[in-house]
Structure 1
Amino acid sequence: MEFIQTNKWDQNNPGAIHTTREIAQQPRLWKETVEILLKHRDTLMSFFKKIDDRHPHIRVILTGAGTSAFVGETVLTSIKEMVKHKRWTVESIPTTDIVSNPYEYLDKDIPTLMISFARSGNSPESVGSVELGEQIIDHFYGIALTCNRDGLLAKQKKGDPDHLVIFMPKEANDQGFAMTSSFTTMLLSGLLVFQPERVHTLEKTINEIVSAGAKIIETGKTELEALASSNFSKVVYLGSGVFQGLARESSLKLLELTGGMIPAIFDSPLGFRHGPKSILDEKTIVFVFLSCHPYTRKYDLDVLKELYHEQKRGKVVAISSYQDDVAERYSNLFLTTGLETVQEDIFLTFPYVMYAQQFALCKSMYLGLSPDNPSPMGLVNRVVKGVKIYPYRNGGERI
């Protein structure tokens, strides 16, 4: 099925061609990502067995910079659940933290597996984090999930027996400024890489999210375009559990694609009440990502009702996996993916983020910007520039 049916989106804005296509192609690339992980299944199982046989305990670090870091943040709790029968601990630590403070995050005596998420694999911090791991940790292993076959991270680790490099579908190497299909394909890979023996059993669920994503592309633009053209100046994204990482990514996407013109923040529904709620006024839109877990959803609905009844607030948007009359009643815009049978929030992150991506794209175009390059003056760049990596000698002593 062809999902790139979106020329009507960009016919009036040639500066949106890449970003529009890269949002629209995601459902197709998710299927390709599953096929890639199936091809690596035996290699992954052998790699993990080798590590398990060598070490009674393994520390896993999920890492990346910016959106790539939010991949690890979003998938963290799901991976913890997958490996709970092993003596593995899992953490999400951005490369930007590792590079600047390696003595706080890397332990010489703990065998470590670093999972690097990287669109280009050329960011100084991506390469620097792996080099620091090799320098500091006695038993260090790595898996790079990257979109760029020609990136430094991929080239340096090719053929290294203690490292694996797995490439996302070729088109996932987004050419637009903001990461969209690179985010979701790396997220799906991160979810699948720790359960290689189960990849084939998840195909039904993945086919369902593929269909949901395709439907969002076909039908979601009108409502989101109307919302994007409304009068607002700030946006809040709220989500619990895996959706907190997703909320963070959604806020960054809006900030990036609007060139910083629309400030956006993220939080959990419960955390939002503890101070950040001060941001509310008549020009603040709030998105709430609703959990499919019945317990967590109670808290999501509570904050949705509270927001809806606020005197000074803008529009409230609820995003749900299924039809919910209560959520629809207490929101100005109710969006549903139609995924009633999906029982894990992590799978809902894929269609949910497409709403956020499309909203950011629509707002960018409404503001007269070029989403493919919303910062033409070079304040920020597709691949970060200007980062100097300093040598780390003798445990980081002052030199």
Structure 2
Amino acid sequence: MNPTHRSITEQFPYWQRAAVPAPIHSAQAHILLGCGTSYYLAQSVAAALNVAGVPALAVPGGEWLARPGAYLPAGTPAHILAFSRSGESTETVQAAHRSRADGHHVTAVTCEAGSSLAQAADEVLYAETHPEEGIVMTSSASLMLLTGLRLAGLAFHEEDVLASQALMTQAQRAYPALIEGRTHVVFLGAGELYGVAQEGALKLQEMSLTYTQAYHPLEYRHGPISLVDDRTVVVLLSHPDTAADEARLVPELRSKGARVLGFGAPGDVSVELPGDARRRAVMVLPALQMLGECVAQARGLDTTAPRWLTKVVTLA
């Protein structure tokens, strides 16, 4: 078991110790910033905040730094939530500095309490992560997502942590047969699950150099489905509000040659995914991380040294 594998399987005690911030109730605009994984987590948290009645928009850190007026009218006060595991991602740190200079209140969500981002923020939500986590974000991603969704009112308890661990173990047993001979993996998720679908696609791409895509489930039929064949796996993250519509997509995908992994949905492999969409977003994430590790192992790749990647992305 390599350090990446351990950081996935041993992350759950950190969830149980994670801080529980008070939910946000402010009606002002909330802009959620991040890069890479952190941006995808921000997308899921922004969707959950909007569902809770709190106006929110996820924006890549570099976009907010370069052109904030494209996402929020100039002069509009906002609460900035900046997500960064290391707290050193150049665009996010610079965007936090600019936001404070523009009069916005900045909250950092990070796994490094003394980081540049933490120092640039008005307040810090800190999440202790697994000490062996390397370049690929695993435990830290789950913890930042959990923290963000708690700001949207998610109540996540010990039994949910244990259920997520069991879900990961169940899915892991099914992965070898599911991925055999497959080179193209599509992740589908709606609402609060869309950002998690994108994160699942990114994880698999980083860890195993697999060609991946991520879409909203019904949007996938409008063009991208043309790539489905007998080399495709579709990972469907079912949203409880639209589960019936999403389930009707499964026979069409299978008829075109795809194998379907349904989390809360039917498929060649079907794994129960209980709860509302916020709870599902957290619960499924370790299983998606484990998929990346399993595919990488099958291809003989070392996930502690993914190609071209570094733990912290900084710009000179």
- Judge same fold: TM > 0.5, yes or no: yes
CA contact (8 A) 2:129 2:139 kept: no
Call closer, same or farther: CA 1:174–1:147 in 2, change over 3 Å. farther
Give the 3 Å change call, closer, same or farther, for CA 103–79 of structure 1 in structure 2.
closer
C-alpha distance in structure 1 between counterparts of 2:212 and 2:39, whole Å: 18
- Measure the CA separation in 1 of the matches of 2:125 and 2:169: 31
Paired letter, 1:308:
R
Which structure dedicates a bigger proportion of its chain to helix?
Answer: 1
Q: What is the alpha-carbon distance in structure 1 between the residues aligned to residue 142 and residue 108 of structure 2? A: 15
Following superposition, the deviation at residue 182 of structure 1 comes to 1.1
Q: Give the TM-score normalised by the residue count of structure 1.
A: 0.74
- Considering only aligned residues, what root-mean-square deviation do their CA atoms show, in Å? 2.2
The answer to whether residue 250 in structure 2 is matched with residue 318 in structure 1 is no
- Aligned equivalents of 2:199, 2:129: Cα separation in 1: 22
Q: CA deviation at 1:106?
A: 5.3
Asked if 1 retains the 8 angstrom alpha-carbon contact of 2:29 and 2:55, the reply is yes
Residue number in structure 1 paired with 2:82: 116
1:189 and 1:360, CA in 2 relative to 1: closer, same or farther beyond 3 A? same
Distance (Å, rounded) in 2 between the aligned partners of 1:351 and 1:91: 23
Counterpart among 28, 31, 37 of residue 13 in structure 2: 28
Structure 1 CA distance for aligned equivalents of residues 258 and 125 of structure 2:
43
TM-score normalised by length of structure 2: 0.92
**Residues 218/270 of structure 1: CA separation in 2 closer, same or farther (3 Å cut):** closer
The equivalent of 2:42 in structure 1 is 72
How much does 1:315 deviate? Answer: 1.3
Q: Matches of 1:352 and 1:346 in 2, distance apart?
A: 10
For residues 58 and 218 of structure 1, what CA distance do their matches in structure 2 show? 41
Count residues in correspondence: 316
Match of 1:125 in 2: 91
Identity fraction in percent: 25
Structure 2 match to 1:153: 117
SS state of the match for residue 157, structure 2? helix
In structure 1, C-alpha distance between the alignment counterparts of 2:72 and 2:98, rounded to whole Å:
8
Q: Distance in 1 between matches of 2:120 and 2:283?
A: 34
Instruction: State how far apart, in whole Å, the 1-side matches of 2:260 and 2:171 are.
Output: 17
Partner SS state of residue 93, structure 1:
strand
Q: Which amino acid aligns with 2:133?
A: Q
Residue segments in structure 1 that go unaligned for 5+ positions in a row: 1-9, 11-16, 158-162, 321-326, 389-399
SS of 1:238's partner is strand
The one of 4, 16, 31 equivalent to 1:61 is: 31
Q: CA deviation at 1:207?
A: 2.5
| Residues 215-226 of structure 1 mapped to structure 2, 5 A cutoff | 215-226=166-177
Question: Highest Rg: 1 or 2?
Answer: 1
Please tell me the residue identity of whatever aligns with 1:254: L
Aligned positions of 1:136-215 closer than 5 A = 137=102, 139-157=103-121, 163-171=122-130, 175-195=133-153, 202=155, 205-215=156-166
Per-residue CA deviation, residues 262-312 of structure 1 (Å, 9 max, x unaligned), is 11001111100111111111111111111223xx012111111221233xx
Question: Distance in 2 between the 1:281 and 1:351 partners?
Answer: 29
Residue 355 of structure 1: aligned partner: 287
Q: Aligned equivalents of 2:258 and 2:129: distance in 1?
A: 40
Gap regions ≥5 residues in structure 2: none
1:27, distance to aligned residue in structure 2 (A): 2.5
* Structure 2: distance between partners of 1:362 and 1:223: 10
